[in-house]
Each structure stands twice: as structure tokens, then as C-alpha cells.
Amino acid sequence: MNSILLVDDEAKLLKIFQSSLTKKGYDVRTAANGQEAQKKIETLENGIVFLDYKLPDTTGLELLKEFSSLYPRNIYIMMTAYGNIDNAVAAMKAGAFDYIIKPVKLEQILIVIEKAFEWLKVKEENTLLKEKLNQTVIVDELFGASSVMKTIFNLVERVSTTDASILLQGESGTGKSMIAKAIHRLSDRTNAPFIPVNCASIPEQLLESELFGHKKGAFTGAVTDRKGKFEAANKGTLFLDEIGEITPSFQAKLLQATQDKSFIPVGSDDVKYVDVRIITATNCNLKEMVKEGKFREDLYYRLNIVNIYIPPLRERRDDILILAEKFLEKFRKRDGKHYELSQKVAKYLVTYDWPGNVRELENAVERAIILCRESELSIDDFPSEIKEANLYSYSSDLNAEKDAKTLPEKVEAFERELILKALDDAMGQPAAAAKKLGISRQSLLYKMNKYFQHSNS
């Protein structure tokens, strides 16, 4: 991604720029007219094409319209004489990335090239991301590209055909309920009910009735017979989430139900039997709770026939952008807009630790969609803690790097960072960046040449 095609009928200009840009490490090709440009562009991919507006046999605008449809993976920049702003506007509407007013200086070309290749890189990464998404191992609604998630998906596929009790463990938001649904949908029970119960949200005195049902008059308010979740899930799957929150007294009652698939409704003497597959989930360490006497050992082993641990998102960062792309695609279809992540935002997302895991990521993407003004999401559209965490991480890395340098090297590195930030804030305009830094434009250009030469040497 370093190829450049310069199309201009000024031979001297082409020679100067070709020589200067070649020294900077770019692969530079030149064309003096439209016919020559049509031949040269055939071998150019993921490159930058500079088009002069006036050419001997055509116009840069006509070439732009032709090339942008035939070679969409390149970036096109129009060069036009001072005063022909209308031509530049027409070029932007036709798909040009930018335009430059002639006469043009080398430093101006360099800044535009840097920004153009940065944008090309983002486009390429988005393309690769979508290709990777298509190659991602998918089980039901689950997504993941990391090796650990592929292992989990393979296990899910294998256990789904059995009736074994499954214990899902992992932090909140890692997708335990989604995996439980996937197991059910891939099983022979897929046409029967999938009944989820959040054990932590139901008071102990009501949990027995909720799961096993009750007879009329069993307690105050029991005005009719009521089926419990076990009976409702007959022939299907019962998913008990937050199983670590149930009390020791209720654990004994649940043990009987998991062993024999039998239970007695509250207020009844009749034993009921059901054919139900039990999947449980927790963000607690049940093994430690067993050691501490907080969870029955026999119940633990009864529920833990197959254990599936879902790691937090920070331990499988390869999945972050895959998941973000999945969520973006959902909103693209909903809103009819082509939402995209810039390379900068993608780096923020990948380096953030996501304490709320997949659920937090989905909420963050949805928030950004609501707040964004353009189709490309800005980091300011995301929750502030994502940006703040990355700034802290960046500062720590920078300090660690500086500690290994001599004082002059530290000063140069710090000055270079300030210059890059000022140029970024000023959209690549040296005059505005110099003003922000409090130095002259000539001084800034000297420093840019010094540091850029140094970085390429």
C-alpha cells in the first residue's frame, strides 16, 4: 500500500515529485495524459491517483468518473488551478478523496498522501473484517473468531445432541444465556419450550413455587393451581441462570429434581415427573463455594456433568471487532445507513477491557449509533470510560518507552507527538498546526522534515 500514480501534463512537475516521493519510499508512476493514465492504472491497486484537471486529451474529472467505478480500491485526489473551486467541488461529488489547489508544494502532497493511505488502510481493514466475519465459526447466534471461542462452539455442537446437564460459567455479559439458547436450538428438543429462570431475581420463598408450581390454597394468594417452570419446560430445556444465588435450604430440593426429574408442587402430596434438560449458569466460582460450604457438593456435581467456561472479552480480543461488526450490521439493516468504525475507534475498542463484556460492547455500539452525526462513528460517540481508559494506557506505554531513552531522545519523541497531534487537530494544515503550537510555519515545516526523515531512515 505505497503505490502512487501522478497524472499531469507538466513534465517538470512530474519529474520533481516522482524523485522526491521515491526517496520517501513510495512506488511512483507517472502519466502525461489520459490515454497513458488508463494503461498505468490497470496495475494499480490500493494506491493513490493524483489527477490534474486539465489534460491534453481529456479532463481529470472524466478520468475520475471512469476510474472510480473500474478501480474502486484506489483513492483519487484532484489537482486544479487556483480559482477553479467549482471543478474541485465537482470532483468531490464524483468520489474524489480530496483536492489540491495548484501550485502545490511537496509538504502539502506528503500530508495528503499520509491521510489518504491512512484512509485506504481503514477501508482495507473493513473489507478484511467483513471477510473474516463470513469465515467466522457461527453456532446459532454466536460469533467469535478466537481459538477459544471456536473450541467452545465445537463443544456446544457436541453436547447439544445429548441430555447431559450443563454448567455455564463466566462473568456477567459473556453470553451464557445465548449459549444456553444455542444448545437448545441445536438439540432434538428445539421444537419444545426453552424456559429461562433468573434465580437471583426471585425471593427464596417464591422460588419453590416458581419452579415446582403450587396447589390452590397452598399459601396466601394461591387462588388457583399453578404449573411451575419444571412442568412448563417438559420435553424441552430449563435454563437456571445465577444458580449460585440459591440458598442452601433450596439446594436440597433442587437436587432431588435434577436427579430424578421429579418434584412435588407446593401444597401437594403428588409427585410429578418431567422430561427436561437442565442447563445452569453462574458468574460465581461454584467450586470455591463448595469448599466454603456455601453450595452442596452433590448438587454441584449433578449440575456439572459438562462444564463450559466462557472467557471475558478482554481475554479474547480477536472477537471484539467481529462482534462490533455484527452489531453494526444489525443497525445498518435497521436504519439503512452504512455505519463504519474508523481505525482510531477500532483501536480504542480493542484495547478497552470491557468489564461488562459482550453486553457492554453491544450497548456501547448502540449508544454510538444514536449519537453519531455521520456514518463513520467517532470515539466521542462512545461512553467516555472507553476513551479515558485508552488515554491512560497510551500514557503509560509512552512513559515506559520514554524511560528507556536518553534526555534528547525523550525531548524529540515528545515534540514529535505534539506536532502529530497538532497536525491531526488542524486536519493536516501546517499553518493552523503551527499557530496551535505557537511556532512559525517555517519552523514547523523544518521540524516535520527532520522527524519524518528520521522515521523513514
Same-domain pairing of 392 and 409: no
Same-domain pairing of 422 and 388: no
Q: Is the dihedral of CA 367, 371, 375, 376 positive or negative?
A: negative
Amino acid identity, position 48: I
How far from the centroid of its chain's Cα atoms is residue 232's Cα? 38
Same-domain pairing of 110 and 51: yes
The answer to whether residue 40 is domain-embedded is yes
pLDDT in tens, 446-456: 777 776 544 43
Q: Is 282 helix (H, G, I), strand (E, B) or coil?
A: strand
Sort 260 into a burial class: Cβ within 10 Å, 0-12 / 13-18 / 19+. Answer: exposed
Last-in-domain residue among 266, 289, 311: 311
Same-domain pairing of 341 and 378: yes
- Asked if 187 and 277 count as a contact pair (C-beta separation under 8 A), the reply is yes
pLDDT in tens, 143-197: 677 778 888 888 888 898 899 999 999 999 998 999 999 999 989 999 999 999 9
Per-residue pLDDT of the chain (457 residues; tens, 9 = 90+): 689 999 999 898 889 889 999 999 999 999 999 999 999 998 888 899 999 988 999 998 999 999 988 898 889 998 887 556 677 778 778 888 888 888 888 888 888 898 888 888 877 776 666 665 555 555 555 667 777 888 888 888 889 889 999 999 999 999 899 999 999 998 999 999 999 999 999 987 789 899 999 888 888 788 888 899 999 999 999 999 999 999 988 998 899 889 888 899 988 888 999 999 999 999 999 999 999 999 999 999 999 999 999 999 999 988 898 889 889 988 998 988 889 988 888 888 988 999 999 999 999 999 999 999 888 898 999 998 898 877 655 444 445 544 556 666 667 777 777 887 787 677 667 778 888 888 887 777 777 777 654 443 3
Length of the chain: 457
Last-in-domain residue among 371, 398, 425: 398
Same-domain pairing of 203 and 241: yes
What gap in Å lies between CA 14 and CA 6, rounded to an integer? Answer: 7
Instruction: Report the predicted TM-score, pTM, of the whole model to 2 decimal places.
Output: 0.59
> What CATH number did the domain enclosing 12 receive?
3.40.50.2300
The answer to whether residue 162 is domain-embedded is yes
Query: What long-range pairs does 154-159 form, CB within 8 A, spacing at least 24?
Result: 155/306, 155/308, 156/182, 156/183, 156/186, 156/308, 157/186, 159/183, 159/306, 159/308
The answer to whether residue 139 is domain-embedded is no
Amino acid identity, position 172: S
* Number of domains composing the chain: 4
Sort 427 into a burial class: Cβ within 10 Å, 0-12 / 13-18 / 19+. Answer: exposed
Same-domain pairing of 266 and 336: no
Segments forming the whole domain that contains residue 450: 405-457
Helix (H) or strand (E) holding 392: helix 384-403
Sort 451 into a burial class: Cβ within 10 Å, 0-12 / 13-18 / 19+. Answer: middle
> What CATH number did the domain enclosing 392 receive?
1.10.8.60
What gap in Å lies between CA 457 and CA 25, rounded to an integer? Answer: 10
pLDDT at 397: 47
The answer to whether residue 230 is domain-embedded is yes
Same-domain pairing of 160 and 261: yes
Cell numbers found for residue 431: 499553518
Rg (CA), the chain: 31
- Asked if 167 and 281 count as a contact pair (C-beta separation under 8 A), the reply is yes
Strand partners, 6: 30, 50
pLDDT at 454: 41
Same-domain pairing of 456 and 381: no
The answer to whether residue 359 is domain-embedded is yes
Nearest-CA neighbor of 76 among 32, 119, 130, 26?
119
Q: Is 46 helix (H, G, I), strand (E, B) or coil?
A: coil
Contacts with 295 (C-beta within 8 Å, 6 or more apart), sequence order: 244, 248, 251, 286, 289
What gap in Å lies between CA 245 and CA 197, rounded to an integer? Answer: 12
- Asked if 267 and 218 count as a contact pair (C-beta separation under 8 A), the reply is yes
Q: Is the dihedral of CA 334, 337, 343, 348 positive or negative?
A: negative
Helix (H) or strand (E) holding 31: strand 27-31
In the 3-class helix/strand/coil scheme, how is 215-256 assigned residue by residue? Answer: CCCCCCCCCCCECCHHHHCCCCEEEEECHHHCCHHHHHHHHH
Nearest-CA neighbor of 321 among 127, 118, 151?
127
- Asked if 175 and 186 count as a contact pair (C-beta separation under 8 A), the reply is no
Contacts with 353 (C-beta within 8 Å, 6 or more apart), sequence order: 313, 314, 389
Same-domain pairing of 342 and 279: no
The answer to whether residue 43 is domain-embedded is yes
> What CATH number did the domain enclosing 305 receive?
3.40.50.300
Same-domain pairing of 296 and 192: yes
The answer to whether residue 140 is domain-embedded is no
Same-domain pairing of 169 and 258: yes
pLDDT at 165: 93
The answer to whether residue 141 is domain-embedded is no
pLDDT at 91: 79
Last-in-domain residue among 290, 311, 332: 311
Sort 249 into a burial class: Cβ within 10 Å, 0-12 / 13-18 / 19+. Answer: exposed
What gap in Å lies between CA 65 and CA 50, rounded to an integer? Answer: 14
Same-domain pairing of 159 and 280: yes
> What CATH number did the domain enclosing 456 receive?
1.10.10
